[in-house]
Structure 1
Amino acid sequence: MNKPMIPAAKPIIGDDERRAVDRVLASGMVAQGPEVAEFEKEFSAQLAGSRECVAVNSGTSGQHLGLLASGVKPGDEVIVPSFTFAATANSVAVIGATPVFVDIDIDTFCIDPSAIEDAITDRTVGIQPVHLYGHPAAMDRILEIAKKHSLFVGEDAAQAHGAELNGQQVGTFGQWAMFSLYPTKNMTSGEGGMVSAEGPEIARTLRLLRNQGMEKQYANEIPGLNNRMTDIHAAIGRVQLTKLEEWTKRRQELAAHFDANLQGVVVPKVADGATHVYHQYTIRIDGASAQERDRFAQALREEHGVGCGVYYPTPVHRLPAFELELDLPNTEKAAREVLSLPVHPSVSDADRDRIVEAVNAVATAGA
């Protein structure tokens, strides 16, 4: 194979971002300051339905603070999907609470609402759905269940900037929502996260928690952490925010082309009323074992120069941190069969066509 590798993911950092960082460095104010405040306002207006937003130093920090702001304490239970990145459950566990793992809907890869109610106990305090790969979870049904059982809902929107369900943006359904700004996400601040809050009380608690529990210097109201975002990171995020709409459109164009032209694999489905933003374009090798899927991925990389990734090869409940024996058939099926193809905005039309040709050739060879 002499073709250049098409990377599975590619952060886009250009001159605009560099100039923004230089501006902050020249100002001499690099810690949390005016850039962070402006970034929060702009993010709120564009991606969070004008909900108050609180910038933090990582998506995981945002998730952790959201749970703390909801009053989660040791001994509580929070329902989460097992087919996700470990941070979803880690943020519950580090508090001393218990993540209760439930199955997913195999079509959307998001938490299965029908599995939630069976998992509720007298220790359950909340539900943490994940808008996986950029597809919104079934929030209408999840909110009904939460209301019935008096549970909070905290959205893991790490991969879903701009996704919608029935015209409503993700990040505006629950009491709070976390967006990741890690380099490979649909937009980045270099590293960081953003939390949208349902109301001023939660927002103020989040602000206290991220800043050592204080609003005024040395007037610590509650025990807190140092989870602040710097002005350097916020400046990068502000620039990226102006480009997100165009980048999302490109992701959706690429996904539509893949939908129409890939053969021999299961392309991702989009639920009625959902707007997918394709942080990942994830196919399934239907009926494959994990080893067969891995060989498929290896062929794409080595024979065709198409980068790809498996998100996620091991369900969270089976990781060494948790090691639970659970019957989650769709989760196990997804972990065996999923493979994510390049769908980032740097994928050219020529790259796109090569990806299609490669997938179809490998699928045909394995048929």
Structure 2
Amino acid sequence: MAERLKLVDLRRQYGPLREEILAALDTVLTEMNLNLGPNTRGFEQEWAEFCGTKHAKGVDNGTDALQLAMYAYGITAGDEVITPVNTFVAVVEAILAVGATPVFVDINPDTYNMDIEQTRAAITDRTRMIVPVHLYGMAADMDPILALAKPKGIIVLEDCSQAQGAQYKGKRVGGIGDAAAFSLYYTKNLGGFGEAGIFTTNDDAIALKVDMMRQHGANPATRYKHEILGFNSRLDEMQAAILRIKFRHLEEYNAKRRHWAARYTELLGDAVVTPKRFPGYEEVNYVYVIRTPNRHEVKAKLLEADIETGIHYPIPLHLLPVTEHLGYKAGQFPISEQYAQQILSLPLFPELTDGEVERVADAVKSAVRDLAPAR
């Protein structure tokens, strides 16, 4: 029997990097410079240069990056923040945590990112921020979003948690809007060995606020003089050491993800709905998401074949219990609701082999054939 194929197999990535990572961690623990130490500062500089921004501030996780950004921009009760309904719950947690109101929009049926016309219709005189999510590793369509936001003074905060290194019309995500939040969770294209996140911006004042808030509200130049409400959300020095090593391989990893995604698309043909590619976008394929009307049955058959899969995401944000008080109802966002019943993420990570990709594709096509109605 074939070995179980994981959705993400991080052991394969760790192996070649093991000695370098252990040496870096030993240096951190020997020097014991643990509070925003040289690896954190070095990674911040390297990440800012990569994204084309003046500032990058390492924080504890991607959710904190979103929340601190909202606090820094003064988002508060009475403000509305527009975001797509098909994404992870973290963006809603951040909006609700600062006291603002999430305003949801449906997704474009081809890109799976936020629908531009619905975004336009959702803007009111209370809209303070738009949070486009670069979902599944593909950038949102940023030009029309910025065109909607800028004349009205609306802040655009990119959620880049699934798109480290993705490009939109030659620009890397994280340096297109007013600011950006990245999760560096361990399953991401660039991830630590646990929790990590980073915030980017070109705005000096906003960068200073985030820097202060991640350190209990104290100005870095005047420790223990706490000037604003703050939190404890610094990037851990050991995580930063790991991230710097893995970061040197990010573009190689992303290229391999694109290769395997293209191979899946070639092999699967029209057996299922596969992701589309668009000119001007360089995606990084955080996940490879197919659609099939028999999602649960296909998932079960793949598991029988020792192939793990995922669902990103099974419940649109407006139908979660945590957002029930907002008053949204089933049927308001039909594309996201339909897709939530159909989407299935196949194994995808840089270290896959062609034989494994063929195995997955064959298993998907076999499952679809078995489930097809008799004629």
TMscore range, shorter length: over 0.9
Q: Which amino acid aligns with 1:297?
A: K
Matching of residue 284 in structure 1 with residue 286 in structure 2 = no
SS in structure 2 at match of 1:321: helix
More moved, 172-181 vs 12-21: 12-21
The question of whether the paired residues in 1 share the 8 Å contact of 2:265 and 2:274 is answered with yes
Deviation at 1:148, TM superposition (A): 3.0
Q: Which amino acid aligns with 2:286?
A: H
Report the Cα distance in structure 1 between the residues aligned to 2:72 and 2:260, rounded to whole angstroms: 39
Report the Cα distance in structure 2 between the residues aligned to 1:3 and 1:40, rounded to whole angstroms: 42
- Give the aligned partner of residue 62 of structure 1: 65
Deviation at 1:347, TM superposition (A): 1.2
What do you get for the CA RMSD once the two structures are aligned? Answer: 1.2
Matching of residue 134 in structure 1 with residue 137 in structure 2 = yes
The question of whether the paired residues in 1 share the 8 Å contact of 2:53 and 2:201 is answered with no
- Give the aligned partner of residue 88 of structure 1: 91
Deviation at 1:173, TM superposition (A): 1.2
- Give the aligned partner of residue 271 of structure 1: 278
Report the Cα distance in structure 2 between the residues aligned to 1:318 and 1:200, rounded to whole angstroms: 38
Quick one: percent identity of the two aligned structures? Answer: 37
Report the Cα distance in structure 1 between the residues aligned to 2:336 and 2:117, rounded to whole angstroms: 14
- Give the aligned partner of residue 259 of structure 2: 253
Report the Cα distance in structure 1 between the residues aligned to 2:370 and 2:290, rounded to whole angstroms: 17
After TM superposition, list the pairs within 5 Å mapping 1:1-367 onto structure 2. Answer: 2-11=1-10, 12-13=13-14, 14-15=17-18, 16-46=20-50, 48-190=51-193, 191-214=195-218, 215=220, 216-263=222-269, 264-285=271-292, 288=293, 292-302=294-304, 304-323=305-324, 324-325=328-329, 327-367=332-372
The question of whether the paired residues in 2 share the 8 Å contact of 1:31 and 1:232 is answered with no
Deviation at 1:352, TM superposition (A): 1.2
Report the Cα distance in structure 1 between the residues aligned to 2:128 and 2:175, rounded to whole angstroms: 19
Q: Which amino acid aligns with 2:355?
A: A
Report the Cα distance in structure 2 between the residues aligned to 1:251 and 1:68, rounded to whole angstroms: 35
Q: Which amino acid aligns with 1:159?
A: Q
SS in structure 2 at match of 1:344: coil
Deviations 1:104-149 (A, max 9, x none): 0121111111111111122110100100010000001100010132
Deviation at 1:189, TM superposition (A): 2.0
Deviation at 1:222, TM superposition (A): 1.0
Q: Which amino acid aligns with 1:246?
A: E
Deviations 1:286-344 (A, max 9, x none): xx2xxx31111111111x22211001000011100012215101111211111111110
Q: TM-score, normalised by structure 1?
A: 0.95
Deviation at 1:70, TM superposition (A): 1.4
Deviation at 1:30, TM superposition (A): 2.2
Report the Cα distance in structure 1 between the residues aligned to 2:361 and 2:192, rounded to whole angstroms: 31
SS in structure 2 at match of 1:53: strand
Report the Cα distance in structure 2 between the residues aligned to 1:156 and 1:50, rounded to whole angstroms: 15
Unmatched tracts of structure 1, length 5 or more: none
Report the Cα distance in structure 2 between the residues aligned to 1:270 and 1:204, rounded to whole angstroms: 38
Q: Which amino acid aligns with 1:312?
A: Y
Q: Which amino acid aligns with 2:296?
A: D
Deviation at 1:162, TM superposition (A): 0.6
Deviations 1:62-111 (A, max 9, x none): 01011111110112110011100000111101111111111001211111
SS in structure 2 at match of 1:322: helix
Unmatched tracts of structure 2, length 5 or more: none
Deviation at 1:179, TM superposition (A): 1.0
Deviations 1:223-279 (A, max 9, x none): 111111121111011011011111111101101111111031011012331111000
Deviation at 1:43, TM superposition (A): 1.3
Report the Cα distance in structure 2 between the residues aligned to 1:361 and 1:18, rounded to whole angstroms: 43
SS in structure 1 at match of 2:163: coil
The question of whether the paired residues in 1 share the 8 Å contact of 2:190 and 2:243 is answered with yes
Q: TM-score, normalised by structure 2?
A: 0.93
SS in structure 1 at match of 2:180: strand
The question of whether the paired residues in 2 share the 8 Å contact of 1:310 and 1:339 is answered with yes
The question of whether the paired residues in 1 share the 8 Å contact of 2:3 and 2:306 is answered with yes
Q: Which runs of 4+ in 1 moved over 3 A?
A: none
Q: Which amino acid aligns with 1:347?
A: L
Deviation at 1:45, TM superposition (A): 1.8
Deviation at 1:174, TM superposition (A): 1.1
Residues matched between the structures, number? 359
